[in-house]
A and B are shown apart, each in its own frame.
Chain A
Amino acid sequence: MSSTVIFPAQPEQILKGLGKLWTGLGHEEKQQGKPTVLRACAMTLVVATDEDDGGFAASQLIPQLMHGHPCRGIVLAVSKTAEHDVEARVMAQCWKPFGKAQQICCEQIEIVAHPESWPNVGPTLAGLTVADLPVVFWCRHKGALSVHATPEQKAGLQVVLDLSTKVIVDTAGEDPMSAFELVMRLHQNGRAVADLEWARLTFWRQPIAQIFDNPMRTNKFSNFHTVEIEHEGAQPTPMALYAAGWFSGFHKAKVKFRSCQGFCPGLHSIRLISDEETIQFERTGPEIMRLFSTNGRERVYSHSEESLYALLNEELSIVGSDPCFDVAFNRAQELLIGQ
């Protein structure tokens, strides 16, 4: 359910449109004899996209995220085809949780801005963020994040950053040097920064960490002198560097990277080597992962590529700083820069 285009996109007009939408939904529900709609809010989630972001359907993803993170979703689409400099539309999406009579609705605001007008959306956004709650900014606008961003893009990005308590980017497929520079650049004024490449590693890191829960292995942690990381592409990806940074950030291990042959999106394997034992966690099929050690124990995991939903769900659970990421990032940066 969505309203018509709101122009000029002034916060008051947008909020009025949102209010009308909720009243309408409540009325509709009442007429159908259903329980009234519900809304809860834990944060404002701002998603900036550009024209190249064609496949991304924010309007579908935000309601999914609402299950775990009730929020006001604001999609900021920067588009040359925008009819006005800045225009807005409000919408609500409702769904009924399985087995429940009462439905949940989530509100979403779409702001379409012409590239030249992007720097002017600051006041609009400032009037739309939910009071007293964190503002998380997921930037999918590649151009603005690039070192070659135009002055308008830089200024536009800055107005959103100024409002944000946390910013989320995705460095998948990026050159590690520019990816890490970006993370450093965003990590200013105490703002939390998250990289979805790091979140993709959680599935790898947790089972490996669990291995060292066993006191027998915890005490032998320092014996694992080498970590080998097999990754896609000719050069280590940011994800491979994060993995190396995480493991070697704590202990004296040699780091070796290998380029994977054949189909191996992201990482293919992580091997931890000591004189007594080798532990390997590897992707053995598109949805199967195998963890085994040379002492014979083996465990199989079912795992498909993390969806954007899963990654965002994880990141939105961490609103403050992320010390483990900070350690891994610093070490990964050292690995990259120190050579």
Chain B
Amino acid sequence: MYQENWPDTYFWPYHQTRTMSVIVQPVTEANLLQDPLRFDRHVPPCAIVIFGASGDLSKRKLLPSLYRLFYERRISQSFAVVGSSRTPMSDDQFRDKMKESVSKFLEDAPFDEDVWKSFAQCLFYVAGDMSNPESYEAIREKLDEVEQSHQTAGNVLFYLSTQPSFYAEAVKALGAHNLTKGRGWRRVIIEKPFGHDLQSARKLNEEIHQVLDESNVYRIDHYLGKETVQNILAFRFGNGIFEPLWNRRYVDFIQITAAESIGVEGRGAYYQEAGALRDMIQNHLSQVMATVAMEPPTVFDANNVRDERAKLLRAVRIMKPEEVEKYAVSGQYGPAKVGGQDLLGFRQEPSVDPNAQTDTYAAVTFFIDNWRWAGVPIYIRTGKRMPKRVTDIAIQFHAPPLGLFSQETKSGLREARPNLLVLRIQPEEGISLRFLSKSPGSGMRLRPVSMDFNYGSSFGERSPTAYETLLVDAMTGDPTLYTRQDMVDASWQIVQPILDSWANTKFDFPNYDAGSWGPKASEEMLARQGHVWRIP
């Protein structure tokens, strides 16, 4: 390949000597070759240990995301993945299995055989039971090995993608086997659900903190990794014109909707224990609410942003037991025929108790007791088997104080429709503002029009998936989009009275048809405030 006496070797420019020296700046320990304007974020060398490596999350999300990051050269070359689960497999068998998954679940990206070969050299596997101490020793040996072979600098990111009941045990075992200490940093990503209720979440936190400092705990909420959720911060705090309106003086109410058209899709056993309130509102949607309603941080860094999110969640009024019926609605879908297809009710789904009291729909009215939001209801709803899959946030502003253009109709005076700002999270990510415009022609007849910004089509490029974003964040030590202990605690506090009340209530389920927008009681909850749910 390279020849020391290359015949055409010459020295530039037009110089007699064979080499030239260049005057230099002093070398510091920072990597001077980095070019943040053009290169992706600097990701340090590290090994990632995935517990539950043969599970669905690893196959569908984690490995495809890591491959994609590797393909785009967004992770360090000194990088290795150590998968671990009970299934006995060799490194090569694990690689083959992951190759199959990555090529199948890779989103909007090509699968390249040559790049895969290079990526596969970074994949290793350790079979073992998480309750068996030998498994951790085997992992430690493998980490020592890859630290040498792949120069991972002793940095390790542990990813707990296992049954939630193993979280505490796994963290304790990592500590007991000295895996949480080493030459480099050690961080642990913990998947949701983080606890089953307030008490269990606190207990889990305590157990984790016996081993790990909070700064090394990364509780993942993939909603926060979505581009459009991050865009809420850009929209609010990168522009000067919206924030002055973002308060009780101008906002009438806020609606957050996260609807799914699918049912439990084989997750009946899990879902039966979780329910919509725990599965969506306690984590994802309360974090979205915090993002929409929080105060501007003074500095855009992890602690300041998370301080503001936590502060907002702590300001949410905790319901008294007698208020739950007024401010929260539980629902469960029954069977229905949609588009000529018979859909099962929740109780008819496989592995579901035929008398299950599980909420497949939950709607809650929250109030935030601070100066900005006092008296402004924030309605959150989520449900399965709704007419379509959509997640959005609608901010309805007060109507103009004087109805100058209100119209007389046969049924009486029709109020002009107030302005509505909709932040769409999925599937058509974007922002739209509804305002009134004069209809063409004589007379002052007004009609609502929508001014639309579509994120995907305005920027037609592929956005990183939430897991790509969050994995890079964890590797670079940026926890801004991860939930902190106090945020988790606060979000459990706001739903706990509802969970307690519902646990002691026998509901007359099912109370909404598959393919509808939820139970009637939900409409009534808003009607009491003089509001209606919008149809997203």
Q: Which residues of A contact B (CB under 8 A)?
A: 38, 40, 66-68, 70, 97-98, 100, 102-104, 199, 202, 205-216, 218-219, 221-222, 226, 235-236, 240-241, 244, 246-259, 261, 271, 280, 282, 288, 291, 297-302, 314, 318, 322-324, 331, 334-336, 339
Contacts and interface: CB of A to CB of B under 8 A. Distances in A.
B453 interface: yes
A153 to B, nearest CB: 29
B334 to A, nearest CB: 31
B459 A216 contact: no
A68 to B, nearest CB: 5
B528 interface: no
A38 B22 contact: no
A218 B31 contact: yes
Contact of A253 (B22, B73, B149, B151): B22
A248 B458 CA distance: 40
B151 A66 contact: no
Interface of B: 1-2, 6, 8-15, 18-25, 27, 29-35, 37-40, 42-45, 71, 73, 76-78, 108, 112, 114-115, 117-118, 149-151, 153, 428, 452-454, 456-461
B30 A66 contact: no
Given A211-B77, A218-B30, A302-B114, A248 B22 contact: yes
Given A252-B24, A255-B19, A318-B37, 19 more contacts: A40-B458, A97-B456, A100-B428, A103-B457, A199-B38, A209-B35, A210-B73, A213-B34, A214-B151, A215-B29, A235-B12, A241-B12, A244-B12, A258-B10, A259-B8, A297-B151, A299-B118, A301-B73, A302-B112
A210 B33 CA distance: 8
Nearest to B16: A339
A64 to B, nearest CB: 9
The 8 closest A-B pairs by CB, nearest first: A67-B460, A209-B33, A254-B19, A300-B118, A40-B458, A324-B35, A250-B32, A259-B8
Contacts of A67: 459-461
10 contacts: A67-B461, A211-B77, A213-B34, A214-B45, A249-B22, A257-B10, A257-B12, A271-B2, A297-B149, A300-B118
Nearest to A255: B20
A136 to B, nearest CB: 15
Nearest to B151: A214
A291 to B, nearest CB: 7
A256 B19 contact: yes
Contact of A38 (B25, B37, B151, B458): B458
Contact of A297 (B22, B77, B457): B77
B31 A261 contact: no
Nearest to B118: A300
Nearest to A251: B24
A280 B2 contact: yes
A302 B115 contact: yes
Contacts of A104: 457-458, 460
A339 B461 contact: no
Contacts of B2: 271, 280
A251 B27 contact: yes
A338 to B, nearest CB: 8
Contacts of A212: 31-33
A214 to B, nearest CB: 5
A252 B24 CA distance: 5
Contact of B24 (A236, A248, A280): A248
A39 B73 CA distance: 32
B10 A259 contact: yes
Contacts of B27: 221-222, 250-251
Contacts of B428: 100, 102
A14 B39 CA distance: 39
Contact of B115 (A236, A248, A250, A300): A300
A3 B403 CA distance: 44
A253 B20 CA distance: 8
A206 B1 CA distance: 23
Contacts of B112: 302
Contacts of A210: 42, 73, 76-77
Interface centre among B14, B108, B459 (most CB of A within 10 A): B459
B50 to A, nearest CB: 21
A324 B38 contact: yes
B45 A219 contact: no
B457 A97 contact: yes
A166 B457 CA distance: 25
Nearest to A336: B13
A300 B118 CA distance: 6
Contact of B77 (A103, A207, A254): A207
A40 B24 contact: no
B114 A288 contact: yes
B78 A236 contact: no
Contacts of B458: 38, 40, 70, 104
B39 A102 contact: no
A335 B13 contact: yes
A232 to B, nearest CB: 12
Nearest to A300: B118
Contacts of B21: 252, 254
B37 A324 contact: yes
Nearest to B108: A98
Given A67-B461, A302-B112, A318 B38 contact: yes
A215 B76 CA distance: 12
Contact of B76 (A102, A214, A240, A288): A214
B20 to A, nearest CB: 6
A250 B33 contact: yes
Contacts of A211: 77
B157 to A, nearest CB: 15
B420 to A, nearest CB: 19
B152 to A, nearest CB: 9
A70 B457 CA distance: 9
A207 B453 CA distance: 36
Interface centre among A248, A298, A299 (most CB of B within 10 A): A299
A167 to B, nearest CB: 17
B35 A213 contact: no
A213 B454 contact: no
A241 B14 CA distance: 13
Contacts of B18: 256
Given A102-B454, A205-B39, A302-B114, A218 B29 contact: yes
A38 B452 contact: yes
Given A67-B460, A253-B22, A258 B9 contact: yes
Contacts of B459: 67-68, 70
A68 B21 CA distance: 42
Contacts of A218: 29-31
Nearest to B75: A210
Given A212-B31, A250-B24, A339 B15 contact: yes
Nearest to A176: B13
B29 A297 contact: no
Given A67-B461, A251-B32, A339 B39 contact: no
A255 B44 CA distance: 28
A331 B22 CA distance: 9
Contacts of B15: 339
A25 to B, nearest CB: 15
